[in-house]
Amino acid sequence: PEACKALRGFYDAIGAKDESPSFADTSSTCCAFLDVRCTQPDGSPSPPLGQKEGWKAGATLTKIKFRGGTELGGSGTLPGALLLPLAGTLEYLDLGKDGDRSFSGTLPAELAQLTALQKLSLTTGKFSGTIPHQLGRLPALEKVTLLSKRLSGTVPGELCHRSDGSLRKLVLDDNVKLSGTLPPECFLLPTLEEISAKKTRISGTLPSKITAPLRLLILEEVSLSGSVPEELCKGEKLEELVLRRANRVSGTLPTECLSHDTITKIDLKRTKVGGTIPSLDKAVPKLKTLDLSNSDVSGTLPASVDMFSGLEYLAVDRTKLYG
């Protein structure tokens, strides 16, 4: 009951209205809300979505995910304090896609008190201020997605300080005022699989040491310099390497990147990456996109390019390739 009371207060504060019949019945469980998920106290299956019957006393509210089942108000700040009664149970907070609602103001410090939080997704584009460094204290945090054109400051290293943590995904795209370097600790985190910070003012150099098991590294339209570390392409999971328009990145294209068993996309368009395309001695069936246009890649296009058996898009225009 206390959790539902807190949730209804949160909905009222942001002008949200769940479209389930249970929303109008204040005596009904909030577990029947369309954009809320709860867990039964004994682990038994939950009732069908939107059904208020079948929930047992002690059911725990674990997820708030605005995805079409909630009518949202126009704009306003995010009242983080109203979420504190859910601090020990809320695992998932997703306030919808950009355009659903334009939250403004700063990211509330109370988010760092949601100790059970595993996923935080705030993509409704008008948050300002800095990223709270206290988020790095959340022991269960796995996925952070903060998309805004007004967040400023730097990426707090605390996000990647917990070697015993569980952070797997860090997405900071479109924060055009976000600057400074990406914390080197992130590239060493044993759990981190995805880093994306495209269209930011991130600068500095690509770290030479990368031990995180990255699947995706997307640093498009940033001011990073340095070269693509060979260590990155020696990992077992890499699927996408996108440094498009990171026009200060240089060095040579590591052979390991092109022959990687799991790689699906390499985009180095408008970088200063040079070197040659190596001859391959094995098929690379998963690579679908290879864009080296406007780069400094040179030499001949090897006959073994046929080894890219799954290739759907190849761009090598405005390079020094011939043949």
Contact 103, 74 (CB under 8 A): no
118: alpha, beta or left, given left = phi > 0 and alpha = psi -120 to 50?
alpha
Residue 47 CB: number of other CB atoms within 10 A?
18
Contact 128, 150 (CB under 8 A): yes
Average pLDDT of every residue of the chain: 89
Q: How confident is the model at residue 27 (pLDDT cuts 50, 70, 90)?
A: confident
pLDDT tens by residue, 167-193: 999 999 999 999 999 999 999 999 999
pLDDT tens by residue, 57-116: 999 999 999 877 778 766 678 889 999 999 999 999 998 765 555 678 889 989 999 999
Pairing of strands 75-77, 92-94: unpaired
Question: pTM for the complete prediction?
Answer: 0.92
Contact 145, 122 (CB under 8 A): yes
Element (H, E) at 12: helix 2-14
Contact 156, 134 (CB under 8 A): no
State the pLDDT at residue 254. 81
Share of the chain above pLDDT 70, in %: 96
Pick the closest to residue 307 from 320, 294, 290 (CA basis). 290
269: alpha, beta or left, given left = phi > 0 and alpha = psi -120 to 50?
beta
Pairing of strands 92-94, 119-128: parallel
Q: How confident is the model at residue 128 (pLDDT cuts 50, 70, 90)?
A: confident
- Average the pLDDT over 307-312 and give the result: 90
Is a pLDDT exceeding 60 seen at residue 279?
Answer: yes
Contact 157, 183 (CB under 8 A): yes
pLDDT tens by residue, 240-269: 999 999 999 999 988 888 888 899 999 999
- Give 56's DSSP letter: P
Instruction: Give start and end residues of each alpha helix (H) in the chain.
Output: 2-14, 255-258
Contact 142, 120 (CB under 8 A): no
Q: Which residues contact 189 (CB under 8 A, 6 or more apart)?
A: 160, 163, 165, 167, 212
State the pLDDT at residue 165. 72
Residue 303 CB: number of other CB atoms within 10 A?
10
State the pLDDT at residue 98. 54
Sign of the torsion angle spanned by Cα atoms 168, 174, 179, 180: positive
Residue 41 CB: number of other CB atoms within 10 A?
12
